[in-house]
Amino acid sequence: MSTNRRDFIKFVVAGAASAGCPIDLSLIAAPSGGANSSAEVDGEQNRICHQVRDQGSNSFARPSPSARHDVVIVGGGVSGLAAAYRLPQRDFLLLEKEPHWGGNAYEMEYAGSVYATGSAFLTRDEYAYHFAKEIGLTPLPVNSSDASIIHGELVVDTWGAGLDKLPYSASVREGFKKFRKEMTAIDVEKRGRELAQKAFVDFLKGYPPELKLWWDNFGPSNWGATSETSNAGLAIGSLQEMVEESRTDDRYTWPGGLGAITKKLADLLLPKHKQRMQTGATTVAVVSEKEEVQVTYLLGGELKTVAAKAVIMASPKFITRRIVEGLPEKQSDAMKQIRYIPYPVVNLIFDQPVFNHGYDTWCPGNTFTDFVVADWVIEKRPAYKQKCNIISCYTPMKEEDRGYLLNEIGCRKIAANVLNDFQKLMPGMKVDPIEVHIYRRGHPLYMSTPGLYTETQPLARHPMDRVFFANTDSEGPESTTNTGILAAQRAVQQVEARLAGKPLAKEHAIAG
């Protein structure tokens, strides 16, 4: 593709890289910077973020409560929306920093075609599958085992019959087969606690480097970590699922991924509870009093405080620990231990068919880890005509590279690199898209490191009398829409018990 041709491709940057910052920066006037000031996307100004990070909620003068509710829910992603859905008889207030609902499971649209900006699929054995049906969605089968593109060749069913077709030497292919045999023989359920404390890289020793390359590509996309920092039990369990998937694919989704669930929840809730659902509201302080909890948030440049009998924090823990006052020291430390990676999703929008060979394809050694065909689950319907071939490229990044998402130049460079790598994958894929959309997120996916699921998360999610903790990072072993919904269900049950006058069980107590 020539430089001149590239100039005609439209690059669109969306999403909040500082979504974890407990201040809606676009609502606060930035100081004039002059000609040398760097342009920042969406008006984000990180000086305020750092103020909250360093000084906490005490840096704000909290007004007196202007309203009272049964429950305040902080965070309008899948966990917050599911919590609100389970509290239909309660006077709740749902607060969301972004201008839309959905969090990391948020769908977008181009010319009538829906595409994903995050969460991709679920399985039949997950609670989320049954929850989706409860709210009126019919899960659509993926029915396509994962492929890989290696050295320009498409390897269908990578961990099934595809192992015989890997474009490697015979000895490397045998290494992959031996690894599959040894890992599938491990009883993950029986050895779960032991494996959760070990790094996956220990199980890769003695195998070809090509195997580690594949897993260092797969891990960050799914649970935020390479083999050096991955929970071994999670990685081995994932391999066993892929081997099983090669026989029967048990995954389900919708066009645009699991954003269909959050969209449906919002569509169900808004007609009845619109006055109690507020977007553009950035929570800055959650303070427990003797008989209530006071929640202060910024809306339209104005600080507001409301009081509640209980609060559900459906926000990530690195935000939560900054704005909830009075956290026991051990609980705050546990929240601090949870690490998050930056994770943009780059959608390549084509006006012609470019790739429709499978649902999810892995691409080790590239800028992105894998890509999903946005409309895969409906494209084979007899009456369906594909308007746009939208390819969602999942692009997890290293923690230290988070800063590249903070300005438009960095975002465009990431998107351009993804496009370049995609066009080099296979013959026939060097096609110009009509648009390239990058949805940037600075801290969306927690890293499933050893000990996180068994030790850190149980401490981080312990209730605090009237404050309860949800969000996908409350449950494990990896960040999914399913765990977000389960976390909401648990928090709602705890809230209902507290409002019924049942004291916090002794086993939930945490020493400071």
Which of 213, 248, 283 lies at the terminal end of a domain, its last residue?
A: 248
Same domain for 7 and 109?
A: yes
Structure tokens at 418: 């993804």
The answer to whether position 425 is within a domain reads yes
Structure tokens at 122: 């679920």
Which of 445, 470, 494 lies at the terminal end of a domain, its last residue?
A: 445
Please state, in angstroms and rounded to a whole number, the distance separating the CA atoms of residues 440 and 25.
16
Which of 197, 224, 248 lies at the terminal end of a domain, its last residue?
A: 248
Q: Which domain holds residue 217?
A: 161-248
Residue 3, pLDDT score? 47
Q: How many CB atoms lie within 10 A of CB 42?
A: 16
Please state, in angstroms and rounded to a whole number, the distance separating the CA atoms of residues 227 and 198.
10
The answer to whether position 22 is within a domain reads yes
Same domain for 124 and 100?
A: no
Pairing of the two strands 345-350 and 435-439: antiparallel
Same domain for 320 and 451?
A: yes
Residue 84, pLDDT score? 98
Residue 60, pLDDT score? 67
Please state, in angstroms and rounded to a whole number, the distance separating the CA atoms of residues 383 and 7.
36
Same domain for 345 and 415?
A: yes
From residue 488, how far is each of 70, 196, 249 by CA, in Å?
A: 16, 24, 28
Q: Which residues contact 96 (CB under 8 A, 6 or more apart)?
A: 75, 76, 77, 80, 277, 278, 279, 280, 281
Same domain for 320 and 362?
A: no
The answer to whether position 282 is within a domain reads yes
The answer to whether position 13 is within a domain reads yes
Q: Which residues contact 49 (CB under 8 A, 6 or more apart)?
A: 18, 21, 22, 23, 25
Task: Give me the CATH number covering residue 282.
Answer: 3.50.50.60
The answer to whether position 150 is within a domain reads no
Q: Are 80 and 266 in contact (CB under 8 A)?
A: no
Pairing of the two strands 251-253 and 107-110: unpaired
Residue 15, pLDDT score? 81
Please state, in angstroms and rounded to a whole number, the distance separating the CA atoms of residues 350 and 377.
18
Same domain for 380 and 503?
A: no
Q: How many CB atoms lie within 10 A of CB 434?
A: 15
Q: Are 135 and 265 in contact (CB under 8 A)?
A: yes
Residue 393, helix vs strand vs coil = strand
Please state, in angstroms and rounded to a whole number, the distance separating the CA atoms of residues 8 and 4.
7
Same domain for 129 and 10?
A: yes
Task: Give me the CATH number covering residue 398.
Answer: 3.90.660.20
Same domain for 96 and 67?
A: yes
Strands (DSSP E) contained in 330-441 are: 340-341, 345-350, 360-362, 370-373, 389-394, 435-439
Strands (DSSP E) contained in 160-315 are: 251-253, 277-279, 281-288, 293-299, 302-313
Q: Are 504 and 463 in contact (CB under 8 A)?
A: yes
The answer to whether position 394 is within a domain reads yes
- Mean pLDDT, contiguous 10-residue spans, the chain (512 residues): 59 71 32 33 39 59 94 98 97 96 93 93 96 98 96 97 97 98 97 95 97 97 96 96 89 95 98 97 96 96 97 97 97 98 97 96 98 96 94 97 92 96 96 95 94 96 97 95 97 97 58 35
The answer to whether position 52 is within a domain reads yes
Q: How many CB atoms lie within 10 A of CB 289?
A: 10
Same domain for 451 and 322?
A: yes
- How many structural domains comprise the chain? 3
Residue 502, pLDDT score? 82
Residue 52, pLDDT score? 55
Same domain for 363 and 504?
A: no
Q: How many residues make up the chain in this entry?
A: 512
Same domain for 12 and 118?
A: yes
Structure tokens at 439: 């949805």
Q: How many CB atoms lie within 10 A of CB 468?
A: 28
Same domain for 327 and 465?
A: yes
The answer to whether position 467 is within a domain reads yes
Please state, in angstroms and rounded to a whole number, the distance separating the CA atoms of residues 361 and 371.
6
Max Cα–Cα distance, the chain, nearest Å: 72
